[in-house]
């Protein structure tokens, strides 16, 4: 791995260091409900603080429309960061305006300021290169160097991720270096048996990662909404469950290729089927080949893997030396349909080797279900970025930092 790291910047004492974090945390009523990404940023921020840098934190949050929107303000994040760092953190009410300039100018060595949401500026996510570059130029005026540490956005060609790194001396932070170290092990030197667990709603979201990993893994466990396309490809009726008709031929190809390569694809043998989508829905457990034979008939909706499958998946996971998991096994947000995801998470904590939770909904699930981060080998901060890395795609936010495999 070739990547410019913090050491390549030399002394940062007294320098204004812009740190591109990924602080895109979930908020409810203005309160952070999962501060995992804030905590993940701490090692890099503390290293820079201790080195005497003047730290300028930038991030996006949510999907505002390129203009200020109070519900997406980073103010609660700045407050939480102050609590976790144990020191005051200034907050600028804009990103490249007067408030930002004043906040940065007031920094002393070892001080920290957070600027308002990058996506309040249309230039951050603009498809037009000139518009993006113009916003990056205004950001660059606020710093002397850039530390890129938002792994969750390195697959995006955005102003603060790509263009800014071309304008300022730049390097990857500790979080990005850590993420890459783990993900490269999954591709280049996984200890075997190597099991990949895939869930989530759609097969189409996972096409690239299945293509890239199928020749590399020993076992592939399929759950979540995507399992029904696999069942349908085998000729089973799936009722009103999520089904991607246009992916049936692709799934049949995966099943053939797995057999040819000696890769075991493990599909559910039982399903939790509900009368409707809701926590109060009637539900029953039935065989994966009998989804339409429940009292709900063809309107039955599969919302989780069943207990028999959960036990089988857990056994396969515990018997592996390397496990990568991306995507919940069911609708974990609704208590009656969270047990499959819970069983997978619990099994990952017992892996005698490397267990990786691949960010996104999987990371949200383990925290919502009460698992602490330190029970897993690694929890990625970037679901989409993790998948694209494992697909072998070029990631602009890494390439601009000198990364190559």
Residue 66 counted as an annotated binding residue: no
Residue 259 counted as an annotated binding residue: no
In residues, how long is the chain?
405
What phi and psi, each to the nearest 5 degrees, are found at residue 244? -105, 95
Residue 287 DSSP SS3: strand
CA separation for the pair 178, 119 (Å, rounded): 26
Six token digits for residue 299: 């309107």
Residue 80 counted as an annotated binding residue: no
**Edge-to-edge order in the sheet of strand 301-305:** 283-287, 270-274, 301-305
Residue 34 counted as an annotated binding residue: no
Q: Are 53 and 168 in contact (CB under 8 A)?
A: no
What phi and psi, each to the nearest 5 degrees, are found at residue 202? -125, 135
Catalytic option among 202, 216, 318, 375:
202
CA separation for the pair 385, 102 (Å, rounded): 34
Residue 359 counted as an annotated binding residue: yes
H-helix segments, 34-119: 36-40, 42-50, 75-85, 98-105
Whether 36 is catalytic is no
Catalytic option among 97, 353, 384, 402:
384
Sign of CA dihedral 74, 80, 85, 87: positive
Which residue is associated with the tokens 């991720």? 161
Residue 62 counted as an annotated binding residue: yes
Task: Give the Å distances, CA to CA, from 157 to 17, 217, 294, 391.
Answer: 21, 30, 48, 17
Residue 48 counted as an annotated binding residue: no
Catalytic option among 37, 132, 157, 219:
37
Residue 361 counted as an annotated binding residue: yes
Residue 24 counted as an annotated binding residue: yes
Instruction: Please name which of 7, 9, 44 lies closest in space to residue 23, comparing C-alpha atoms.
Output: 44
Residue 127 counted as an annotated binding residue: no
Catalytic option among 173, 199, 306, 360:
360
Six token digits for residue 55: 């730290």
Whether 37 is catalytic is yes
Residue 211 counted as an annotated binding residue: no
Residue 223 counted as an annotated binding residue: no
CA separation for the pair 338, 336 (Å, rounded): 6
Six token digits for residue 147: 């530390």
Q: Which residues make Cβ contacts (< 8 Å) with residue 252, sequence separation at least 6?
A: 233
Residue 383 counted as an annotated binding residue: no
The distance from CA 402 to its chain's CA centroid, rounded to whole angstroms, is 22
What phi and psi, each to the nearest 5 degrees, are found at residue 398? -95, -40
What phi and psi, each to the nearest 5 degrees, are found at residue 161? -95, -40
Residue 119 counted as an annotated binding residue: yes
Residue 283 counted as an annotated binding residue: no
Specify binding-site residues for ATP.
206, 302, 333, 359-362
Specify binding-site residues for substrate.
22-24, 37, 60-63, 119, 156
Specify binding-site residues.
22-24, 37, 60-63, 119, 156, 206, 302, 333, 359-362
Catalytic positions, please? 37, 202, 360, 384
């Amino acid at each position: 791995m070739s990547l410019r790291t913090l050491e390549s910047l030399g002394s940062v004492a007294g320098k204004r260091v812009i740190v591109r974090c990924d602080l895109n945390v979930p908020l409810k009523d203005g309160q952070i409900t999962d501060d995992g990404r804030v905590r993940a940023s701490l090692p890099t921020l503390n290293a820079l603080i201790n080195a005497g840098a003047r730290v300028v934190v930038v991030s996006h949050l949510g999907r505002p429309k390129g203009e200020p929107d109070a519900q997406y303000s980073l103010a609660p994040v700045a407050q939480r960061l102050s609590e976790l760092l144990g020191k005051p953190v200034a907050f600028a009410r804009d990103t490249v305006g007067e408030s930002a300039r004043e906040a940065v100018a007031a920094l002393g060595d070892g001080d920290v300021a957070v600027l308002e949401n990058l996506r309040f500026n249309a230039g951050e996510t603009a498809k037009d290169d000139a518009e993006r570059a113009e916003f990056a130029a205004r950001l660059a005026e606020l710093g002397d160097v850039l530390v890129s540490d938002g792994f969750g956005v390195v697959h995006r060609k955005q102003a603060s991720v790509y263009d800014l790194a071309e304008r300022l001396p730049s390097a990857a932070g500790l979080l990005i270096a850590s993420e890459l170290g783990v993900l490269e092990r999954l591709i280049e030197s996984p200890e075997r048996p190597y099991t990949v667990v895939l869930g989530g709603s759609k097969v189409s979201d996972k096409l690239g990662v299945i293509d890239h990993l199928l020749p590399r893994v020993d076992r592939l466990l399929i759950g979540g909404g995507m399992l029904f396309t696999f069942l349908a490809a085998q000729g089973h009726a799936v009722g009103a469950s999520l089904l991607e008709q246009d992916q049936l031929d692709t799934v049949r190809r995966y099943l053939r290729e797995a057999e040819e390569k000696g890769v075991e694809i493990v599909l559910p043998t039982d399903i939790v089927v509900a009368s409707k989508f809701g926590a109060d829905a009637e539900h029953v457990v039935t065989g994966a080949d009998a989804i339409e034979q429940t009292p709900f008939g063809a309107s039955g909706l599969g919302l989780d893997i069943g207990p028999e499958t959960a036990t089988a998946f857990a056994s396969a996971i515990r018997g592996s030396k390397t496990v990568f998991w991306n995507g919940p096994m069911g609708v974990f947000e609704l208590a009656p349909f969270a047990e499959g995801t819970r069983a997978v998470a619990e099994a990952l904590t017992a892996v005698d080797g490397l267990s990786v939770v691949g960010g996104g909904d999987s990371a949200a699930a383990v925290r919502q279900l009460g698992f602490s981060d330190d029970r897993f080998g690694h929890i990625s901060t970037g679901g989409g970025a993790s998948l694209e890395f494992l697909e072998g795609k070029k990631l602009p936010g890494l390439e601009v930092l000198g990364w190559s495999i």
